Amino acid sequence: MKIGIEAQRIFRKKKHGMDVVALEMIKELQIIDKENEYCIFIKHDEDNLCLKESSNLKIVEVEGKSYPYWEQRCLPKAALKEKINILHCTSNTAPINCKIPLILTLHDIIYLEQKSLIQKKGTLYQKFGNLYRKFIVPKIVNKCRKIITVSDFERNRIINQLGLNESRVITVYNGISKHFKPVTDKLLLNKVGLKYNLPEDFIFFLGNTDPKKNVAGTLKGYALYLKESGNNIPLVMLDYKKESLEKTLSEINETQIADKIILPGYVYNIDLPAIYSLSKIFLYPSLRESFGIPPLEAMACGTPVLASNTSSIPEVTGDAAYMVNPFKPEEIASGIKTLLNDFLLREELIKRGFVRASLFSWLSTAESVLKIYNSLIDDILKDEKLQQ
Higher-confidence position of 382 and 93: 93
Q: Say yes or no: 135 and 213 in one domain.
A: no
246 and 135 housed in the same domain: no
The number of folded domains in the chain is: 2
Judgement on whether residues 13 and 147 belong to the same structural domain of the protein: yes
Mean per-residue pLDDT over the chain, rounded: 94
Residue 180 within any structural domain of the chain: no
Residue 85 lies in a domain: yes
Amino acid identity for residue 90 in this structure: T
Pair (259, 144) in one structural domain: no
Structural domain for 339, as ranges: 186-357
Quickly state the pLDDT bin for 383 (edges 50, 70, 90).
confident
Q: Looking at the domain assignment, is residue 181 inside a domain?
A: no
Q: 131 and 91 in one domain?
A: yes
Angle subtended at Cα 246 by Cα 244 and Cα 128, rounded to the nearest 5 degrees:
20
Residue 25 lies in a domain: yes
pLDDT at 118: 45
Cβ contacts of 178 within 8 Å, gap of 6 or more: 361
115 and 24 within one domain: yes
Question: Domain containing 117 — which CATH number?
Answer: 3.40.50.2000
Q: What is the mean pLDDT of residues 260-275?
A: 94
Pair (152, 240) in one structural domain: no
Who has greater pLDDT, 209 or 21?
21
Statement to judge: residues 85 and 154 lie in one domain: yes
Residue 201 resides in a domain: yes
Q: What is the pTM of this model?
A: 0.93
Q: pLDDT digit string (tens) for 326-378?
A: 999 999 999 999 999 999 999 999 999 999 999 999 999 999 999 999 999 88
> Quick check: is 167 in a domain?
yes
Asked whether residue 262 falls in the same domain as residue 128, the answer is: no
